[in-house]
Structure 1
Amino acid sequence: MGEIELKKKESISIKKSAKVTAMLKWDNPKKDLDLYCFYVLKDGTADKIYYRQLGSAKRSPYMELDQDSSCGR
Protein backbone atom coordinates (compact mmCIF):
# COMPACT_ATOMS: atom_id res chain seq x y z
CA MET A 1 0.00 0.00 0.00
CA GLY A 2 2.84 2.42 0.65
CA GLU A 3 3.30 5.12 3.23
CA ILE A 4 0.46 7.37 4.35
CA GLU A 5 1.14 10.75 5.91
CA LEU A 6 -1.57 12.24 8.11
CA LYS A 7 -1.66 15.88 9.09
CA LYS A 8 -3.78 17.51 11.81
CA LYS A 9 -7.51 17.40 11.11
CA GLU A 10 -6.97 15.20 8.05
CA SER A 11 -8.52 11.80 7.33
CA ILE A 12 -8.07 9.05 4.77
CA SER A 13 -10.25 6.29 3.37
CA ILE A 14 -8.66 2.86 2.86
CA LYS A 15 -10.28 0.38 0.46
CA LYS A 16 -11.20 -3.03 1.82
CA SER A 17 -8.26 -5.44 1.81
CA ALA A 18 -7.14 -8.55 3.65
CA LYS A 19 -4.80 -6.67 5.98
CA VAL A 20 -3.94 -3.06 6.70
CA THR A 21 -1.13 -2.15 9.10
CA ALA A 22 -0.78 1.37 10.48
CA MET A 23 1.82 2.80 12.85
CA LEU A 24 2.16 6.29 14.26
CA LYS A 25 5.64 7.71 14.72
CA TRP A 26 6.52 10.99 16.36
CA ASP A 27 9.60 12.65 17.80
CA ASN A 28 8.18 14.71 20.66
CA PRO A 29 8.15 12.66 23.90
CA LYS A 30 5.90 15.29 25.55
CA LYS A 31 3.06 14.52 23.12
CA ASP A 32 0.95 11.37 22.80
CA LEU A 33 -0.73 10.53 19.50
CA ASP A 34 -3.65 8.13 19.36
CA LEU A 35 -4.74 6.09 16.37
CA TYR A 36 -8.51 5.76 15.87
CA CYS A 37 -10.15 3.56 13.24
CA PHE A 38 -13.77 4.55 12.57
CA TYR A 39 -15.93 2.07 10.67
CA VAL A 40 -19.48 1.53 9.43
CA LEU A 41 -20.84 -1.99 8.94
CA LYS A 42 -23.30 -3.00 6.21
CA ASP A 43 -26.12 -2.97 8.79
CA GLY A 44 -25.38 0.69 9.58
CA THR A 45 -23.62 0.07 12.88
CA ALA A 46 -20.87 2.67 13.37
CA ASP A 47 -18.12 2.52 15.99
CA LYS A 48 -14.38 2.86 16.45
CA ILE A 49 -11.27 0.92 17.46
CA TYR A 50 -8.87 2.86 19.69
CA TYR A 51 -6.77 2.62 22.87
CA ARG A 52 -9.78 2.07 25.17
CA GLN A 53 -11.57 -0.32 22.81
CA LEU A 54 -8.89 -2.49 21.17
CA GLY A 55 -11.23 -4.65 19.09
CA SER A 56 -10.53 -8.25 18.11
CA ALA A 57 -9.32 -10.05 14.99
CA LYS A 58 -11.61 -12.95 16.01
CA ARG A 59 -14.98 -11.14 15.99
CA SER A 60 -16.74 -8.51 13.90
CA PRO A 61 -15.54 -6.09 12.63
CA TYR A 62 -12.31 -8.17 12.68
CA MET A 63 -10.02 -5.25 13.51
CA GLU A 64 -7.56 -5.10 16.37
CA LEU A 65 -5.25 -2.50 17.86
CA ASP A 66 -2.39 -4.47 19.36
CA GLN A 67 -1.00 -1.82 21.70
CA ASP A 68 -0.86 1.80 22.79
CA SER A 69 2.74 2.81 23.40
CA SER A 70 1.96 6.18 25.11
CA CYS A 71 5.34 7.45 23.91
CA GLY A 72 7.02 8.46 20.66
CA ARG A 73 8.94 5.92 18.63
Structure 2
Amino acid sequence: MDFTLQKGKRYKSVVTLGFVERIASNEMIAGKFQAAGFTDVKVTGEGGTRYAEGIWNQDNVRPTYPPQISDISEIVA
Protein backbone atom coordinates (compact mmCIF):
# COMPACT_ATOMS: atom_id res chain seq x y z
CA MET A 1 0.00 0.00 0.00
CA ASP A 2 1.40 3.37 -1.02
CA PHE A 3 -0.24 6.28 0.76
CA THR A 4 1.31 9.44 2.21
CA LEU A 5 -0.04 10.74 5.51
CA GLN A 6 -0.06 14.54 5.64
CA LYS A 7 0.16 16.51 8.87
CA GLY A 8 -3.16 17.87 10.14
CA LYS A 9 -5.39 15.75 7.89
CA ARG A 10 -7.97 13.24 9.11
CA TYR A 11 -7.79 9.67 7.85
CA LYS A 12 -9.86 6.52 8.15
CA SER A 13 -8.89 2.89 7.67
CA VAL A 14 -10.17 -0.63 8.06
CA VAL A 15 -8.43 -2.77 10.67
CA THR A 16 -8.75 -6.51 10.04
CA LEU A 17 -7.72 -8.58 13.03
CA GLY A 18 -6.66 -12.22 13.20
CA PHE A 19 -8.27 -14.82 15.44
CA VAL A 20 -6.28 -14.02 18.59
CA GLU A 21 -6.11 -10.25 17.91
CA ARG A 22 -9.92 -10.02 17.97
CA ILE A 23 -9.90 -9.93 21.76
CA ALA A 24 -8.29 -6.47 21.69
CA SER A 25 -10.58 -3.66 22.81
CA ASN A 26 -11.23 -0.63 20.63
CA GLU A 27 -9.36 1.41 23.25
CA MET A 28 -6.28 -0.79 22.87
CA ILE A 29 -6.36 -0.37 19.10
CA ALA A 30 -6.83 3.40 19.46
CA GLY A 31 -3.76 3.43 21.70
CA LYS A 32 -1.68 1.83 18.93
CA PHE A 33 -2.78 4.55 16.50
CA GLN A 34 -1.97 7.25 19.07
CA ALA A 35 1.46 5.74 19.66
CA ALA A 36 2.05 5.85 15.89
CA GLY A 37 1.34 9.61 15.77
CA PHE A 38 -2.42 10.08 15.39
CA THR A 39 -4.58 12.29 17.60
CA ASP A 40 -8.35 12.43 18.12
CA VAL A 41 -8.52 8.68 17.40
CA LYS A 42 -11.85 6.85 17.26
CA VAL A 43 -12.15 3.09 16.75
CA THR A 44 -15.49 1.39 16.15
CA GLY A 45 -16.61 -2.12 15.30
CA GLU A 46 -16.05 -5.45 16.98
CA GLY A 47 -14.55 -8.84 16.34
CA GLY A 48 -12.31 -9.13 13.33
CA THR A 49 -13.24 -5.86 11.62
CA ARG A 50 -12.71 -2.45 13.17
CA TYR A 51 -12.81 1.04 11.70
CA ALA A 52 -10.28 3.61 12.84
CA GLU A 53 -10.05 7.31 12.15
CA GLY A 54 -7.81 10.03 13.44
CA ILE A 55 -5.76 13.10 12.64
CA TRP A 56 -2.15 12.59 11.58
CA ASN A 57 -0.17 14.92 13.86
CA GLN A 58 3.39 14.27 12.64
CA ASP A 59 5.38 15.40 9.61
CA ASN A 60 4.27 14.08 6.23
CA VAL A 61 5.32 10.46 5.86
CA ARG A 62 4.84 7.47 3.58
CA PRO A 63 4.88 4.71 6.22
CA THR A 64 4.96 0.97 5.91
CA TYR A 65 1.60 -0.28 7.11
CA PRO A 66 1.06 -3.50 9.03
CA PRO A 67 -1.00 -6.13 7.17
CA GLN A 68 -3.99 -5.49 9.43
CA ILE A 69 -4.47 -1.95 8.01
CA SER A 70 -6.27 -1.44 4.69
CA ASP A 71 -8.52 0.95 2.79
CA ILE A 72 -6.77 4.09 4.04
CA SER A 73 -8.35 7.31 2.84
CA GLU A 74 -8.54 10.96 3.77
CA ILE A 75 -11.74 12.24 5.34
CA VAL A 76 -12.55 15.52 3.62
CA ALA A 77 -14.49 17.96 5.81
TM-score (norm 2): 0.27
Q: Which has the higher contact order (CA 8 A, sep 6+)?
A: 2
Give the structure with the higher percent helix. Answer: 2
TM-score, normalised with respect to structure 1:
0.28
Instruction: Considering fraction of residues, name the structure with more strand.
Output: 2
